[in-house]
């Protein structure tokens, strides 16, 4: 049986910043993040559902860090820019996780819609929101017992003054393409957005055919769905902005940033726009869905290993699904310009020069 090998160059990119405060100064005491593998700093691994081995993490951490990347994620660069420590995963139970400056609920494979029996991750958006509500309740319980926990958990007012980030939706589209048509997926977008809106309100209330490629070599049907989702998401943020006048809800167009990177990769110092650094199969994609980065398997009677390239900084794509640290660095720098946001915030970026590359 033929294996269709392809990856999605640009998927959805929901990334909304929701500071529950009256003005945006980008000096937040804590950050609370919700999402999928694009911002998972160790939840799926911490849950024991998956393990990540070398060469993941080889660039910055030198060892696998629970991140689906060769190094840092977009969220890591954003935390650096705000002079805040990297976010610990909610399910990080080894060592002494410190949640003083926030908590990360993102888990690889997560969807906005409720998880099913075949889902990679049980931690759908609604579950992550419930985890946040449980986290907040437990923090308040600990704070009531005295100051001995102050070093490890957020202060009570951090929940009101903190920055809430959401980067999720990719798996609602990507996973669906294995069993649904483009028309069916487009028809599901309203339900996805209803679920997303419900999650946002709970946080606010309580604290086609894969062979069809576009001119960039990306799956055109997937990106068509992503554009439609983002268009409706943008409209939803406008609605939420009107409903929560005392909060700042910002829509960030990551789709445009990522597609521009792929289309103009050489301008930004990359040599490979779509080929995976860590994978198997060679050009043009170096990706085989049967074998993940770092794994060794027997395919067609031969033992093969999905190895990393010699220099991942030349690649936009890390493992056929996720972006490389170098690409994440570029994407985060574009987010921080404020030019891809609605409303824009380029005049409110005093910490931009603090970005540590």
DSSP 133-181: HHHHHHHHHHHTT-GGGTTTS--TTHHHHSEEEEE--HHHHHTGGGTS-
211 is catalytic: no
- Distance between CA 272 and CA 284 in Å, rounded? 10
Q: How far is CA 335 from the centre of its chain?
A: 13
User: Catalytic pick from 15, 37, 121, 324?
Assistant: 37
- Number of Cβ within 10 Å of residue 156's Cβ equals 12
Q: CA-CA distances (angstroms) from residue 286 to 1, 24, 36? A: 19, 43, 23
Peptide bond into 284 cis (omega under 30): yes
User: CA 5 to CA 111: how far, in whole Å?
Assistant: 22
Sign of CA dihedral 65, 69, 71, 76: negative
DSSP lists the bridge partners of residue 252 as: 341
Cross-strand partners of 13? none
**CA atoms within 13 Å, Cβ hemisphere of 267:** 5
Please list, in sequence order, all residues whose beta carbon lies within 8 angstroms of the beta carbon of residue 4, skipping any fewer than 6 positions away. 210, 211, 289
Taking the C-alpha atoms of residue 247 and residue 7, their distance in angstroms, rounded to an integer, is 37
- Statement: 16-266+321-338 belongs to CATH 1.10.3470: no
pLDDT of amino acid 25: 57
Q: Which of the residues 322, 324, 332, 341 is marked catalytic?
A: 322
Active-site residue, from 92, 172, 288, 319: 319
Q: Where are the domains of the chain?
A: 16-266+321-338
Q: How many whole angstroms separate alpha carbon 204 and alpha carbon 339?
A: 26
| Contact in structure between 320 and 276 (CB atoms under 8 Å) | yes
Nearest to 241 by CA among 33, 24, 95: 24
Is residue 289 annotated as part of the catalytic site, yes or no? Answer: no
What is the pLDDT, as a whole number, of residue 19? 46
Tokens of 296: 């060794």
* 319 belongs to the catalytic site: yes
Whose tokens are 């705000």? That residue is 82
pLDDT of residue 76: 96
Rounded average pLDDT per 10-residue block, the chain, 357 residues: 38 45 66 95 93 95 95 95 94 81 96 92 96 94 88 92 91 87 92 93 73 76 87 92 88 93 95 96 92 94 95 97 96 92 70 48
DSSP 192: H
| pLDDT of 324 | 98
Tell me, rounded to whole angstroms, the distance of Cα 241 from its chain centroid.
23
The predicted model scores a pTM of 0.78
């Amino acid at each position: 049986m033929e294996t269709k090998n392809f990856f999605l160059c640009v998927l959805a990119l929901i990334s909304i910043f929701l500071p529950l405060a009256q003005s945006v100064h980008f000096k937040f005491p804590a950050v609370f993040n919700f999402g999928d593998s694009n911002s998972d700093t160790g939840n799926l691994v911490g849950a024991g559902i998956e393990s990540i081995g070398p060469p993941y993490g080889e660039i910055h951490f030198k060892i696998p860090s629970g991140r689906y990347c060769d190094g840092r994620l977009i969220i890591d660069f954003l935390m650096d820019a705000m002079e805040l420590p990297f976010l610990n995963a909610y399910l990080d139970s080894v060592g002494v996780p410190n949640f003083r400056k926030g908590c990360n609920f993102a888990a690889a494979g997560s969807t906005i819609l409720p998880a099913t029996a075949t889902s990679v991750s049980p931690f759908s958006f609604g579950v992550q929101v419930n985890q946040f509500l449980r986290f907040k309740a437990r923090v308040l319980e600990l704070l009531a017992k005295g100051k001995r926990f102050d070093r490890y958990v957020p202060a009570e007012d951090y929940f009101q003054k903190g920055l809430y980030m959401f980067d999720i939706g990719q798996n609602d589209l990507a996973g669906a393409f294995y069993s649904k048509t483009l028309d069916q997926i487009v028809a599901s977008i309203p339900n996805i957005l209803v679920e997303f809106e419900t999650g946002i309100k709970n946080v606010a209330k309580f604290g086609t055919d894969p062979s069809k490629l576009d001119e960039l070599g990306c799956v055109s049907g997937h990106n068509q769905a992503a554009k439609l989702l983002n268009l409706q998401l943008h409209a939803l943020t406008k609605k939420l902005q009107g409903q929560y006048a005392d909060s700042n809800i910002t829509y960030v167009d990551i789709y445009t940033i990522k597609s521009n990177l792929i289309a103009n990769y050489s301008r930004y110092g990359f040599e490979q726009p779509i080929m995976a650094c860590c994978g198997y199969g060679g050009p043009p994609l170096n990706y085989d869905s049967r074998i993940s980065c770092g794994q060794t398997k027997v395919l067609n009677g031969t033992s093969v290993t999905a190895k990393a390239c010699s220099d991942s900084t030349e690649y936009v794509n890390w493992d056929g699904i996720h972006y490389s640290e170098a690409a994440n660095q570029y994407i985060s720098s574009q987010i921080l310009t404020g030019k891809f946001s609605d409303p824009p915030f380029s005049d409110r970026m005093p910490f931009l020069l603090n970005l540590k590359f």
